[in-house]
Every structure is written in C-alpha cells, then in structure tokens.
Amino acid sequence: MTKETGVEKTLALIKPDAIRNGDTANILQKIELKGFTIVTRSRIQLTPERAGEFYAEHKGKPFYDNLVNFMSSGPLMALVLAKSDAILAWRSLMGPTNSLKAREEAPKSLRALYGTDGTCNATHGSDSVASACREIRFFFPKLVQDPLPDSTGAKDFVARELQPTLVKCLTTLCKVKPTANKLEAITWVANWLLDNNPNKPRPLAEAEAGLLEGEEEEDEYPVSEADAGEEGVDKMEEELAATRLQSHFRGYQTRKTMKAKNSAAPVVVQQVETTAEDEQAAAVKVQSLYRGHKARKTVKEKKAAQA
C-alpha cells in the first residue's frame, strides 16, 4: 500500500450464505464493474478453529459463537482486491453490516442485495490498513505485499528495463520493413520481441549458429605455444581449454548443418493474389517515392549550381 498513489489492497470475503445461494458470480461481476483488480482469490472452507482465529478480536462478545459456526458452515471465497483507496471503496460497496439496515440506507449495496441479517450478510471486508495486512496474511501467507511503485518509480522502470529493447526493435523495423502496413508491422514487432527477449536464455547452439562461416571468436584467454607446452598447467586451465574446444566443435557442426540445409532447401515461389485496392496503393507508394527522389535530385542540382 502506498501513500503516494493511494493504491492499496484489502481482503474481501464472500461468505458461506452467498455461496450457498449462488450469488458468487453476481458479486464478482459487481466487484469488477466498480474497478477493483482481483489480485488473487481462493475458495476454501474454514474449520471452527480457523474461523475462531480469524475473528479472535471478537472473542467474548455475544455474537462470537454464532459467527464462528456460520463462517465454518460451508465454503467461502477469499479475495485480495486492489484499487485506489480499496479499503473504503470495498466497504462502501458492501454497505452497512446489518443487511436490514443496508436495505434502508444503501439498497444497491451487496449486503442489501444478498444478505439476510447482521451475521449472514454475504460479505466481509477489512476495516483498516493494519487489519487488511493481517487478514491477507491469514488467507494468503505466501502473497508478497510489497508496495506498488509510484509514478516516478514506474517511469524509471520503463526507461531502464523496457525502453532500450523497444528502441532497438523499432529501429530494426524501420530498416528491415520501412514500407510495412500496420498489421505487418505489429506482427513483425511481436515476433522480434519473442526472439530477442533479453530475459530469455539463449541455447548455446543458437548463439554459435550466428557466427559467420570462417569467423572465429576472440579468445578471452589467449594461450601461447610456450604456455601450452608447460607442464605446470593446472586443472582449471585444462578444463577451460577442453570446454572451449567443445564449444568450437559444436559451433562448427551447427554451421555445417545449417549450410547443408540451406543449400538443399528448394526455392518456393508463392503466388499472391492482389486486389485493385492493393495495386492502387502500391502505385501511389511508387509515385510518392519517385517524386521524393526527383525532388532530392533537383535540390542537389541547385546546390551544385550555386557552388
């Protein structure tokens, strides 16, 4: 939860009475319509002991036993909701605790629509930031509750982690497919990002296949003939030499295989049907390129004449 953005998380429960009455789908729909993000959810059934732990703050009150029995009487759904000021927004959507009062004061609230009384009231929600943290940890102990980044942090992340790759992608697109239409450009960008994801590990053979035939990698650890002949070479250097030899051999095999496949691959000519609109668009594009070429040539001639 961050004070900078006002985005916070809260725990929401769809209680056993709403589950039994088949109101789960309607409640989830209203949650989404109100702009909540469902971070995670789980359908579970509490034992009386676990229900007692959850409502430990009410122990000793007259309604405690009935509440524990009700909450352990059937399955419920626990959700973590995220939104700007999620705690207040969720409590507003639920309405007053007593469903009878909710029907009078907030007839469109969840408890008014799907609840029965003060205990069987369809939903539960955290009442503060502290209780939200405790209740989320109770149902989702493995969920990381790190604060969401503020706008400055988000911009820094985009500039640091995403922008360099996107700039490289779009620059390559302009060079490779300068005349691509919108669909072709989007498809090409999607494929390029899949193939060049910086967080995706690349197999050894793929990296070696990128070497040009006859090109050798620079040796980071050059070894002279005199050094190679010395008997004092330790085990680490021997393992390094063996690994490098295997790497070069695999690269040689990969390049040889790819060369054989490329030479044996038949040339396939595809016939593409074009419409009148495609031909007209192509003609307009050719005319535009020609006019641009002619204009540049004229400017060049004028500059030469002035010189």
Cα of 36 vs its chain's centroid, Å: 18
Place of tokens 């070429």: 293
For residue 153, the SS3 value is: helix
DSSP for 81-104? EEEETHHHHHHHHH--SSHHHHHH
Instruction: Tell me the C-alpha distance between 301 and 229, whole Å.
Output: 67
Query: Is there a binding annotation on residue 111?
Result: yes
Nearest to 90 by CA among 75, 77, 79: 79
One-letter identity of residue 79: L
Nearest to 100 by CA among 81, 115, 84, 87: 115
**Cβ atoms < 10 Å from Cβ of 282:** 12
Query: Is there a binding annotation on residue 121?
Result: yes
Nearest to 80 by CA among 116, 152, 22, 134: 134
Instruction: Tell me the C-alpha distance between 39 and 246, whole Å.
Output: 48
Query: Is there a binding annotation on residue 91?
Result: yes
Structure tokens at 118: 């003060």
DSSP H helical segments within the chain, as ranges?
Answer: 16-20, 24-33, 48-54, 64-71, 86-94, 99-105, 110-114, 129-139, 151-157, 163-176, 182-195, 204-209, 225-229, 235-264, 276-306
Q: Decide: 132 and 13 in contact? Cβ < 8 Å.
A: no
Query: Is there a binding annotation on residue 10?
Result: no
The dihedrals phi and psi of 21, each to the nearest 5 degrees, come to -80, 0
Q: Decide: 49 and 138 in contact? Cβ < 8 Å.
A: no
Instruction: Tell me the C-alpha distance between 75 and 99, whole Å.
Output: 20
Give yes or no: 124 in active site.
Answer: yes
Cite the active site residues: 124
Q: Which residues are annotated as a binding site for ATP?
A: 15, 63, 91, 97, 111, 121
